[in-house]
């Protein structure tokens, strides 16, 4: 086999490996407030950013916040209808307005860009204005002013990257059947990568200057791991932190300032300062002790969250814990 054929074969193999579909558990939050939980197959995330194209391994992605989608064909139609809103005929304005609203969420970028363009700063009269159309589309699609125009990908629970993740729909297999959910209906996708070898072994870092249970602004780390009721799992933690809120004392995951680890089971759930703690479900208010080594069974179904136990948050804390979660 000559060198050209070898190079071509290598390129094809790399392409097929990078874009192979991988199984994942997902919780899809829709814009209307409802949730869909199930399994899907995802290729590595191809994110087009302002700095170039980024391919993110799906097993490193925790969540995707879906921005306002755009579409050139829809944008062209929207601009045509927007120009008609300044017509002297009320019938023409009403017709253009109704057609503009029917375009839905994908028309939002075109309307926003149109109204922000200085050359389009004309005075509209009556009810059929670009601003009214924009407000009506946002209300119908549950879009608020805080919604990003970019897709935001959370990577390894530490980094975020914004850009365009191009997909038209997400196919999810649920216990009630298969669903095909259009991108424009999706608000966020929480992802838990499924190891095809039969067990999940995922690693995380708890940072003392952020991941404190008493920190109401991001203190709990969202692992992306969806636990089933009755599922067995283990949490193994190492490292050292210094808690400024506790007179700069040093702690290890077991909560002791001297021991590097300890063993915890379901029977011991009350945490002490410095412990690695967990909870199941975002709305849960009860931190459960994991310590340095934990084997247990999930009492309910939901997302697994991790943190360092301390009721008072101080950003001057230093150090971190390395945490491994093993799903049985």
Could you read off the pLDDT tens digit of each residue along the chain, which spans 328 residues? 554 443 443 343 344 344 567 788 888 999 999 999 888 999 999 999 999 999 998 888 888 999 999 899 999 999 999 999 988 899 999 999 999 999 999 999 999 999 999 888 788 888 999 999 999 999 999 999 889 999 999 887 678 899 999 999 999 999 889 999 999 999 999 887 665 555 567 888 999 999 999 999 889 998 878 888 899 999 999 999 999 999 999 999 988 665 544 555 554 578 999 999 999 988 888 899 999 999 999 999 888 999 999 999 999 999 999 999 998 7
- State whether 49 and 188 are in the same domain: yes
Q: What pLDDT, on a 0 to 100 scale, did the predictor assign at position 185?
A: 95
For tokens 């000559």, name the residue.
Answer: 2
Q: What pLDDT, on a 0 to 100 scale, did the predictor assign at position 257?
A: 66
Q: What pLDDT, on a 0 to 100 scale, did the predictor assign at position 40?
A: 92
Closest CA to 269 of 244, 250, 291, 236: 291
Q: What pLDDT, on a 0 to 100 scale, did the predictor assign at position 196?
A: 52
Count of domains forming the chain: 3
- State whether 35 and 159 are in the same domain: yes
Per-residue tokens: 18: 């990078």
Domain that residue 181 falls in: 3-67+149-193
Residues 6+ apart with CB under 8 A from 252: 238, 239, 240, 258, 259, 260, 261, 274, 292
- State whether 83 and 189 are in the same domain: no
Largest Cα–Cα distance of the chain, in whole Å? 81
DSSP state of 228: P
Q: Which H or E run includes 102?
A: helix 90-102
- State whether 227 and 284 are in the same domain: yes
| pTM across the whole model | 0.65
Sheet harboring 288-289: ordered strands across? 221-227, 302-308, 276-280, 288-289
Q: What angle do CA 30, 36, 37 make, to 5 degrees?
A: 140
- State whether 29 and 130 are in the same domain: no
- State whether 112 and 36 are in the same domain: no
Q: Residue 249 belongs to a domain with what CATH number? A: 2.60.120.430
Q: What pLDDT, on a 0 to 100 scale, did the predictor assign at position 26?
A: 86
142: left (phi over 0), alpha (psi -120 to 50) or beta: left
Q: What pLDDT, on a 0 to 100 scale, did the predictor assign at position 37?
A: 86
Which of 197-229 are b and which e, b meaning 16 or more Cβ less than 10 Å from the residue's Cβ?
Answer: eeebebebebbbbbbbbebeeebbbbbbbbbee
- State whether 108 and 20 are in the same domain: no
- State whether 85 and 57 are in the same domain: no
- State whether 60 and 167 are in the same domain: yes
- State whether 53 and 174 are in the same domain: yes
- What three-state secondary structure class fits 26? strand
- State whether 206 and 62 are in the same domain: no
Helix axes 130-140, 108-116, angle to 10 degrees: 150
Per-residue tokens: 320: 């971190």
- State whether 165 and 30 are in the same domain: yes
Distance CA(132)–CA(319), nearest Å, equals: 51
DSSP state of 132: H
Distance CA(171)–CA(201), nearest Å, equals: 25
DSSP state of 66: -
């Amino acid at each position: 086999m000559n060198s050209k054929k070898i190079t071509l074969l290598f390129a094809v193999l790399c392409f097929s490996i990078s874009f192979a579909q991988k199984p994942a558990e997902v919780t899809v939050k829709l814009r209307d407030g409802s949730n869909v939980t199930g399994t899907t197959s995802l290729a590595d995330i191809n994110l087009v950013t302002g700095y170039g194209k980024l391919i993110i391994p799906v097993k490193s992605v925790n969540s995707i916040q879906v921005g306002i989608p755009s579409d050139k064909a829809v944008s062209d139609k929207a601009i045509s209808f927007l120009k008609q809103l300044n017509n002297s005929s009320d019938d023409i304005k009403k017709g253009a307005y109704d057609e503009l609203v029917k375009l839905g969420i994908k028309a939002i970028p075109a309307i926003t860009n149109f109204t922000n363009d200085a050359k389009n700063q004309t005075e509209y009269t009556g009810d059929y204005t670009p601003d009214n159309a924009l407000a009506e589309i946002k209300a119908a699609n549950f879009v608020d002013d805080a919604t990003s125009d970019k897709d935001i990908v959370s990577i390894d629970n530490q980094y975020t990257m914004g850009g365009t993740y191009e997909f038209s729909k997400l196919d999810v297999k649920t216990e009630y059947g298969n669903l095909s959910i259009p991108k424009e209906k999706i608000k966020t996708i929480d992802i838990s990568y499924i190891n095809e070898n039969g067990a999940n072994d995922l690693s995380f870092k708890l940072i003392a200057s952020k991941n404190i249970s008493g920190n109401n602004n991001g203190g709990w780390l969202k692992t992306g791991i969806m636990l089933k009721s009755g599922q067995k799992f283990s949490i193994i933690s190492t490292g050292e932190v210094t808690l400024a809120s506790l007179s700069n004392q040093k702690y290890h995951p077991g909560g002791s300032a001297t021991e590097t680890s300890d063993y915890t089971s379901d029977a011991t759930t009350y945490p002490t300062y410095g412990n690695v703690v967990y909870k199941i479900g975002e709305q849960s208010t009860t931190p459960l002790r994991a310590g340095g080594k934990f084997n247990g069974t999930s009492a309910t179904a939901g997302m697994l969250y991790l943190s360092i136990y301390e009721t008072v948050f101080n950003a001057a804390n230093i150090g971190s814990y390395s945490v491994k979660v093993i799903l049985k």
